[in-house]
Amino acid sequence: MPISFLTTFGKMKDPRRIQRGNFKYPLEEILFVAISSSICGISDWDEMEMFGKDQINWFGKYFDFKYGIPSHDTISRLFNLLDPNEFCKYFVEWVDSLRTFVNKEVISVDGKTVKSSAEKSKGIKALHFVSAYAAENQLVLCQEAVNEKSNEITAVPKLLDMIVCKGAIITVDALNTQTEIAKKVIEKEADYIFALKGNHKFMHQSVIEAFEKQTVDSINIKDDLGHGRVEKRICSVISNLQFVDGAQNWDSIQTIIKIESERYHKANGKNETETRYYISSLQPDAELINKSIRQHWSIENKLHWMLDVSFKEDASRKRKGYSTQNYSMICKVALNLIKQGNGKGSYKKQKFKALLNHTERELLMGLF
């Protein structure tokens, strides 16, 4: 059975205990209010307080709430102080209890900026997170904040160290196509498919030339219909890397890949073509590779888009202390719960039903 998120997150160290010693509202109660609110589409601390007071009888089924629902100031104060690394540690533990092992599952790694977290008047840049998303399980696995003086390239290995990815396929965009990240993936007993662009100029050019001159080892053609367009993707794979500039620098590299996309948009009759290149530690199995590259984009469609549109993360103006990191984690807890729940309809409808009906809420949160 999956570990209850209430039990798992309740093991976190309460930062208020260090600061003041005594406090009215237990950590578990505040977390329960915040996560339950997020499930219902509520993102503001003030609205969480209002929702809690309106639903006090329901909340009382699970915790004492001896002093009632905490104020928005109390909720805000906790998440300003709560160590996001601690939160992430127990988030990973909880997610591992939900995951089902899938051999060759695609784990997409990509970054996202929380735009409203910037304070230009104070010279504070917007916070940027790197997340890992498991395509088959449809679960956010973890997140790692990018240090203001660093970048994604240093954050990705730290993120990979936090998750179990043995037997998986790690996919990244061109920014993170780095030899050290490839090495880390192999250390974790996983495979990789890395996008290749102009940031590796000579290797990129030699891969293009290889597909012009060499015979491919494997090819797969996939047609997709949906979202008002028809798409055809041709995946070609070469395993002879003798003439690929710099191939020897990449740990366990086995193949180079070309994806040719042809898209027809029904609405305007427009045709688009695109050619992209990749390197991989996988054997020349074009069908598997074609599918895996397609699944990489699930992190954009099923995570980043959801955080912006459904959870309004980009519009959140939580900036004090660790509130931005912790609110992002709350959103990811809620998203995982919804994806793993038995609700029906769009995410928007599921959240609205959870707001109106506590039975629907309990269904999504696995409280039965």
Angle between helices 358-365 and 27-39 in degrees, nearest 10: 110
237, 193: one domain: yes
Is there a domain that residue 312 lies in?
no
Is there a domain that residue 315 lies in?
no
User: Which alpha helices (H) appear in the chain, and where do they start and end?
Assistant: 5-9, 15-19, 27-39, 45-54, 56-59, 72-81, 84-98, 152-162, 179-187, 201-213, 286-296, 298-299, 305-309, 323-340, 347-356, 358-365
Is there a domain that residue 313 lies in?
no
For residue 254, which amino acid is it? Q
Give yes or no for residue 3 having a pLDDT over 60: no
99, 70: one domain: no
- The residue to which tokens 């919804």 are assigned: 338
Is there a domain that residue 228 lies in?
yes
Is there a domain that residue 216 lies in?
yes
213, 268: one domain: yes
347 against 104, higher pLDDT: 104
209, 163: one domain: yes
Give yes or no for residue 44 having a pLDDT over 70: yes
347, 282: one domain: no
The model's confidence at residue 117, banded by pLDDT at 50, 70 and 90, is confident
155, 268: one domain: yes
Is there a domain that residue 100 lies in?
yes
Residue 197: count other Cβ atoms within 10 Å of its Cβ.
Answer: 14
* Structural domains of the chain, count: 2
The per-residue pLDDT for 260 is 96
328, 299: one domain: no
The alpha carbon of residue 93 and the mean position of all alpha carbons in its chain are separated, in whole angstroms, by 16
pLDDT tens-digit series, residues 118-152: 677 676 777 889 999 999 999 999 999 887 656 88
- DSSP symbol at 122: G
The first and second tokens of residue 221, run together, are 């053609």
290, 326: one domain: no
What length is written for the chain? 368
What is the distance between the alpha carbons of residues 310 and 331, in angstroms, rounded to a whole number?
10
pTM: 0.92
126, 164: one domain: yes
- DSSP symbol at 147: P
Range of the structural domain that residue 200 is part of: 93-304
Is there a domain that residue 310 lies in?
no
9, 134: one domain: no
Give yes or no for residue 20 having a pLDDT over 70: no
Of 189, 146, 165, 178, the closest CA to residue 108 belongs to 165
128, 272: one domain: yes
The first and second tokens of residue 200, run together, are 């590796």
The first and second tokens of residue 179, run together, are 């030899």
For residue 23, which amino acid is it? F
pLDDT above 70 covers what percent of the chain?
95
DSSP per-residue codes, 231-255: EEEEEEEE---TTSTTGGGSTT--E
Is there a domain that residue 41 lies in?
yes
Do 179 and 138 meet the contact criterion of CB atoms below 8 Å apart? no
250, 187: one domain: yes
For residue 183, which amino acid is it? K
Do 201 and 176 meet the contact criterion of CB atoms below 8 Å apart? no
Do 325 and 82 meet the contact criterion of CB atoms below 8 Å apart? no
pLDDT tens-digit series, residues 282-338: 999 999 999 999 999 999 989 988 888 888 777 777 778 899 999 999 999 999 999
pLDDT tens-digit series, residues 233-284: 999 999 999 999 999 999 999 999 999 999 887 778 788 899 999 999 999 9
